[in-house]
């Protein structure tokens, strides 16, 4: 059997920026003994105007569960203080689902027998025209992780097309070097989101069996390389349910917190995805991460980093999404299709995972208004 590559060693061509953040985050996560916190620790955290990492840790502990209602009320106050009643809308656009990684939980993994497709420039533009006709002004471009089938130039061309129709362009693609992010920024990219999946290197190794994604530190330092490349904002997430969700949520928050201290100008965002069933494996589900635990994580993020954007995914049901935007989430996807080419009615490739909330843009827009909130298509004005 072929020996697997060391998941902690950079491969040729991978830029090592020599960052100290990974060691700091992993040390903090290892020291996070969430069973040691008491109700008094949670009470002290909730009584503070600004939280430190140890307060954030307390709010993620089991001892905080009886305080969920109070955490939610405090998170609501912080959200309205910093974001008003605004809820931003966007939609993801998957332009390719080819992947070179073998990640056992992902529908796109290279060993999963699914229909693969890659949209050409004309097809990308048709998808974007369809999306723009709904009134959306922000788009998130996604591919499978295949530099061969979706190279940097291909993604850059998609960004250039997106700039014709949208005011904000985000990317959720494979990790790249700093120079690649500079190029994509010049093509029109504003944001880069990367899911670390799990911050436990040992567990990470057992989940990522082949491909560039197997290299833990290269993925970890993606957001920092993106900022160095000129990207305005970066998003963080662990895929909740892959490992110990409390430790992963704590590491995610610490990663974002330390990066923002190092780069104060960077815009910070959190996503809070839970595992979802995939094609050929409908038994994948987020172990131990139920809706109360998800609420705990989201409100802890809000109280720890009040200025951060928080996205609530269509992985969650309509009821949960409708309620969390009243409390802590500030961005919601609408009119979601996670297949390739589905927006314009010409579906060519299979989806990455199952979604739970398939409401249209108009339906989400109306729901936001019904909650006495303000749907916002874009908060940026270009002059």
185 pLDDT higher than 70: yes
% of the chain exceeding 70 in pLDDT: 92
**pLDDT, position 1:** 43
Any domain includes 217: yes
Whether residue 4 is contained in a domain is answered as no
How far apart (Å, rounded) are the C-alpha atoms in residues 325 and 51? Answer: 22
3-class state of residue 227 by DSSP: helix
Reported as a single tens digit per residue, the pLDDT across 161-177 is 999 999 999 999 999 99
**pLDDT tens digits, residue range 343-382?**
776 766 555 556 788 899 999 999 999 999 999 998 766 6
* Pairing relationship of beta strands 168-172 and 191-197 according to DSSP bridges: parallel
Closest Cα partner for 200 from 164, 170, 173, 240?
240
pLDDT exceeds 90 at position 71: yes
The answer to whether the beta carbons of residues 85 and 330 sit under 8 Å apart is no
pLDDT of residue 227: 98
| Residue 111 scores a pLDDT above 80 | no
Query: Does residue 281 carry a pLDDT above 70?
Result: no
Domain of 365, CATH number, reads 3.20.20.70
With cut-offs at 50, 70 and 90, classify the pLDDT of residue 107.
Answer: confident
In a domain, 360, yes or no: yes
Q: How far is CA 72 from CA 80, 158, 241, 302, in A?
A: 12, 39, 22, 9
Least confident of 95-104, 139-148, 292-301: 95-104
This model's pTM is above 0.85: yes
Residue 188 has a pLDDT of 98
Q: What is the dihedral of CA 257, 23, 109, 234, to 10 degrees?
A: 30
Mean pLDDT of 57-62: 98
The larger pLDDT score, comparing residue 282 to residue 24, is at 24
How many other CB atoms are there within 10 angstroms of residue 176's CB atom? Answer: 23
pLDDT given at position 87: 98
32, 120, 158, 314, 377 from 124: Cα distances, Å? 45, 6, 7, 22, 21
CA distance 141 to 192: 10
Q: Pick from 90, 102, 86: which is nearest to 7 by CA?
A: 102
Mean pLDDT of 261-283: 80
Q: Residue 100's pLDDT is what?
A: 85
Asked if the model's pLDDT at residue 285 lies above 60, the reply is: no
What values do phi and psi take at 171, rounded to 5?
-130, 140
Q: Are strands 168-172 and 267-271 parallel, antiparallel or unpaired?
A: unpaired
Tell me whether residue 130 is in a domain: yes
More confident residue, 339 or 146: 146
Instruction: Record the tokens describing residue 158, joined without a space.
Output: 């998609």
Structure tokens at 10: 């950079």
Does any domain span residue 12? Answer: no
Other Cβ atoms less than 10 A from the Cβ of 15: the count is 16
- Is residue 10 situated within a structural domain? no
Q: Determine the pLDDT at residue 348.
A: 62
Among 80-84, 99-103, 259-263, the range scoring the smallest mean pLDDT is 99-103
Report the share of the chain in percent with pLDDT over 90.
Answer: 79
pLDDT greater than 70 at residue 317:
yes
Query: Mean pLDDT over all residues of the chain?
Result: 92
Q: How confident is the model at residue 383 (pLDDT cuts 50, 70, 90)?
A: low
Does 6 fall in a domain?
A: no
**pLDDT for position 287:** 64
Q: Answer yes or no: is 168 within a domain.
A: yes
Which structural domain, as residue segments, surrounds residue 309?
21-376
Domains contained in the chain, number = 1
């Amino acid at each position: 059997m072929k020996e697997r590559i060391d998941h902690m060693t950079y491969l040729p061509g991978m830029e090592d920026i020599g960052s100290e953040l990974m060691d700091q985050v992993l040390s903090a996560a290892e020291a996070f003994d969430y069973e040691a916190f008491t109700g008094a620790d949670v009470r002290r955290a909730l009584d503070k105007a600004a939280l430190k990492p140890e307060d954030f840790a307390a709010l993620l502990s089991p001892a905080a569960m009886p305080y969920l209602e109070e955490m939610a009320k405090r998170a609501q106050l912080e959200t309205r203080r910093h974001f008003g009643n605004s809820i931003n809308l966007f939609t993801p656009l998957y332009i390719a689902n080819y992947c070179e990684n073998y990640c056992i939980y992902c529908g796109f993994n290279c060993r999963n027998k699914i229909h693969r497709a890659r949209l050409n420039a004309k097809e990308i533009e048709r998808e974007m025209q369809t999306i723009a006709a709904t009134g959306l002004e922000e788009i998130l471009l996604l591919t499978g992780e295949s530099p061969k089938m979706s190279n940097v130039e291909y993604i850059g061309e998609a960004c250039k097309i997106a700039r014709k129709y949208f005011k904000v362009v985000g990317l959720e693609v494979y990790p790249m070097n700093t120079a690649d992010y500079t190029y994509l920024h010049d093509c029109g990219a504003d944001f880069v989101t990367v899911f670390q999946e799990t911050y436990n290197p040992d567990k990470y190794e057992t989940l990522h069996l082949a491909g560039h994604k197997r290299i833990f530190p290269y993925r970890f330092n993606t957001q920092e390389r993106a900022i160095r490349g000129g990207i305005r904002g970066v998003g963080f997430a662990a895929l909740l349910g892959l490992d110990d969700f409390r430790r992963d949520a704590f590491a995610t928050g610490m990663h974002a917190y330390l990066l923002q201290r190092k780069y104060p100008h960077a815009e910070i965002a959190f996503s809070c995805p839970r595992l979802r069933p995939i094609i050929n494996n409908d038994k994948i589900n987020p172990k131990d991460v139920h809706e109360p635990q998800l609420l705990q994580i989201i409100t802890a993020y809000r109280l720890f980093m009040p200025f951060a954007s928080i996205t609530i995914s269509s992985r969650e049901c309509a009821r949960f999404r409708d309620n969390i935007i009243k409390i802590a989430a500030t961005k919601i996807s609408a009119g979601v299709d996670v297949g390739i080419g589905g927006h314009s009615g010409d579906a060519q490739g299979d989806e990455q995972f199952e979604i739970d909330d398939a409401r249209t843009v108009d339906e989400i827009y109306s729901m936001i208004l019904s909650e006495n909130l303000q749907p916002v298509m874009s908060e940026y004005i270009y002059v």
